[in-house]
Chains A and B, each alone.
Chain A
C-alpha cells in the first residue's frame, strides 16, 4: 500500500509540499498542456510527461496514476455517448495514452464513465459538516428534474453497450502495456441523473463491469466515499470482494454521511464508515497501490484546503501505520 495524493497545479510549491508531507506517489490528470489536441483531446504527450517526471525527480515523486480527461467533449466523450462516427478515433487516443503511460512507467490509468458532469452536485453546493466546515452534498430530489442544456439522455442498455465497446478495445492494450485501468464508480451513485441511466452506481453494476470484460487490467478506483454513498451497500464487503480478486487499482480513501438519495461528504474521521476497519480490509486483501484523500471539507481559515488535506493525509498515514503498512 502506498500513500499518495494528486498534483494539480504543477508548481514547485506543490512539489515541495508533497515531498514534505512524505508523498512520493501521485495521481495527475489530463490537463490541456499534456494532451496532443486542444480541449483535452488526443493522446497524452509523452515528451511533456517526461519533462514533468524530470521535474519531479529531485523531489523523489513518481507519477503513479494518470486520470483520463473526464469532462464533456474531452478525449473520449464520443465513446461515452456512443457516437459511431467519432468513437473509434477517441478510443484510439485512449489506447495511445495507455501505451504512453506504460512506456513511461506509469502503472495505473484512472477513467470515468458518465455523461452528466462528474459530480452532478446541484445548488446549493455546500452543507455544513463538523464544526461548521463546508462539505459537498448531494440530494437527488433537488436535481431529479434538471436537464441542463446539451443533455443527452441514454438508457442503461445503451450505456452498457458503449462502455463494453470501450473496454473491449482498451483492456487488451492496457494488458499489453503493463498498465492497470481503474474506473471510478459513478459519483454521485444515483441510478439516474440528468437523463442518464448510470451504469456504475451499485455493487451489482461494479460486479457486472469486471464480468463483462474479464481482464486483469480491468479494475476499479475504489472511491470509498462514492461506494459508501451507494444505497444499501456494505462498503467493507465491496472492498473485500474486489480486493480478493485483485481488481482494486486505485483508492480514494474518504468518508461520507448518508447515502443516495441524500448524502454529504465528511471529514475522514466523521463519516459513516469505520475507516480503521476499512483499512484493515485493504491490508488483508493485499492492496498495493495508492491510497489518497481526494475531496476534503473546506475549513475556516484554510482557503486552499491545505490544512484539511494535511489532516486527511495524516489520518490515512496513521491508519496505514496502525495496520502495519508503514
Chain B
C-alpha cells in the first residue's frame, strides 16, 4: 500500500510541502499540460508526461495514477453515447494514451463513465460537519427534476452496451501496455441522475462490470466515500470482494454520513465507516496501489473549516506507511493561504518562509 495525494500543481513549494508530509506517490490530471488537443482531448503527450515525472521525482514523488479527462466534450465524450466515427477516433486516442502511459511507467489509469458526471451536489456546502465545518451534501430530492442542458436520457441497457464496447476495446491495450485501469464508479450512486441510468451505483453493477470484460487490467478505483453512499452497501464486503480478486487498482480513502438519497461528505474520522476496519481489509487482501484523500469536484471551496482541511483517524495497525496513508488530507489545510480557494483549482501561494530566529523565542 502506498500513500499518495492528487497533485494539481507543480510549483516547487507545493511539491516540497508534500515531500514534508512524507508523500512519495501521486495521482494527477494536468490535462492542459498533457493533452495534445484543446479541451482535454487527443492523446497524452509523452514528452510532457516525462517532464512532469522529472519534476515530481526531484522531490521524491512518483506519478502513479493518471485520471483520463472526464468532463463534457473531453477526450472520450462521444464514446459514452455509443458507436460513431467520433467515438472510434476517441477510443483510439484513449488506447494511445494508455500505451504512452505504459511506456512512461505510469502503472494505473483512472477513468469514469457518466454524462451528468457528479451533478447534483448542493451548490454551496452546508455547515453540518463536525464543529460546524462546511461539507458537501447531496440531496436527490433537490435535484431529481433538474438536469444540465447537455444531459440525455439513457437507459441501463444502452449504458451497458456503450461501456462494454469501450472496455472491450481498451482493456487488451492496457494489458499489453502493463497498465491497470481503475474505474471510478458512479458518484453520486443514485439509480437515475439527470436522465442517465447509473449502472455502476451498486455492488451488483460493479460486479457485472468486471465480469463483462474479464481482464486483469479491468478494475476499480474504490472511491470508498462513494461506496459508502450506495444505498445499503456493505463497504467492507465490497472492498474484500474486489480486493481478493485483485480488482482494486486505486483507492479514494474518504468517508461520508448517510447514503443515497441524502448524504454529507464528512471528516475522514467522523463518517459512517470505521476507517481503521476498512484499512485492515485492504491490508488483508494485499492491496498494493495508492490511497489518496479526494476532493469532491462539487465542493466550491476549501477553507480551514472544511473537512478536507483535516485529518484521518484510521490506520493500518503496524506499519508507518499504511498509517500515514490516511494522513495526507492535511495538505488541504494549506488552502487558507491561497487567494482563490482550493489547491485543486488554482495555484496555491506557498511562498512563505519562516522568519529568522529571534533571540529568546520559543517553538510552539
Give A contacts to B, CB under 8 Å.
Answer: 16-22, 59, 117-119, 121, 123-126, 129-134, 136, 265, 267, 269-270, 276, 294-303, 305-308, 310-311, 313-315, 317-319, 321-322, 326
Contact B59 A21 (CB under 8 A): no
CB neighbours of B314 from chain A (8 A): 318, 321
A-B contact pairs, 28 of them (CB 8 A): A19-B132, A117-B360, A123-B357, A124-B357, A131-B17, A131-B18, A131-B22, A132-B16, A132-B20, A269-B22, A294-B364, A298-B354, A300-B350, A301-B349, A301-B350, A302-B337, A302-B352, A306-B333, A307-B331, A311-B311, A313-B311, A314-B326, A315-B327, A317-B269, A318-B313, A318-B326, A319-B315, A321-B313
B328, closest chain A residue (CB)? A311
Contact A301 B352 (CB under 8 A): yes
Contact A321 B337 (CB under 8 A): no
CB neighbours of B304 from chain A (8 A): 17, 306
The distance in angstroms between the C-alpha atoms of A124 and B350, with both chains bound, is 24
Contact A16 B131 (CB under 8 A): yes
CB neighbours of B285 from chain A (8 A): none
Return B324 CB to nearest CB of chain A, in Å: 6
The distance in angstroms between the C-alpha atoms of A276 and B323, with both chains bound, is 9
Select which of A132, A267, A310 is within 8 A of B310 by beta carbon: A310
7 interchain residue pairs of minimum CB distance = A314-B311, A19-B131, A131-B19, A301-B350, A131-B20, A20-B131, A307-B333
The distance in angstroms between the C-alpha atoms of A16 and B269, with both chains bound, is 17
Interface flags for B5-34 (1: CB within 8 Å of A; 0: not) read 000000001101111111000000000000
- Inter-chain CB contacts under 8 Å: number: 166
Contact B133 A20 (CB under 8 A): yes
Contact A314 B310 (CB under 8 A): yes
Return B325 CB to nearest CB of chain A, in Å: 10
Contact B317 A322 (CB under 8 A): yes
Contact A301 B21 (CB under 8 A): no
Interface size class of B (residues with CB under 8 A): 35 or more
Contact B364 A303 (CB under 8 A): no
**A18, A123, A318, A326 interface centre (most CB from chain B within 10 Å):** A318
Interface residues of B in 292-328 (CB under 8 A from A): 304-305, 307, 309-315, 317-318, 320, 323-324, 326-327
B329, closest chain A residue (CB)? A314
Select which of B60, B133, B336 is within 8 A of A306 by beta carbon: B336
Return B253 CB to nearest CB of chain A, in Å: 12
The distance in angstroms between the C-alpha atoms of A207 and B39, with both chains bound, is 69
The distance in angstroms between the C-alpha atoms of A308 and B267, with both chains bound, is 17
Interface residues of B in 327-364 (CB under 8 A from A): 327, 329-331, 333-334, 336-337, 348-350, 352, 354, 357, 359-364
Select which of B315, B320, B350, B357 is within 8 A of A126 by beta carbon: B357
Contact B19 A22 (CB under 8 A): no
Contact B17 A300 (CB under 8 A): yes
The verdict on B271 contacting chain A, using a C-beta distance below 8 Å, is no
Return A102 CB to nearest CB of chain B, in Å: 27
The verdict on B130 contacting chain A, using a C-beta distance below 8 Å, is yes
Return B191 CB to nearest CB of chain A, in Å: 34
Interface residues of B in 276-292 (CB under 8 A from A): 276
Beyond A124-B357, A131-B59, A269-B324, 14 additional pairs, beta carbon < 8 A: A19-B132, A119-B363, A123-B357, A131-B17, A269-B22, A300-B352, A301-B337, A303-B352, A307-B330, A314-B326, A315-B324, A318-B276, A318-B326, A322-B317
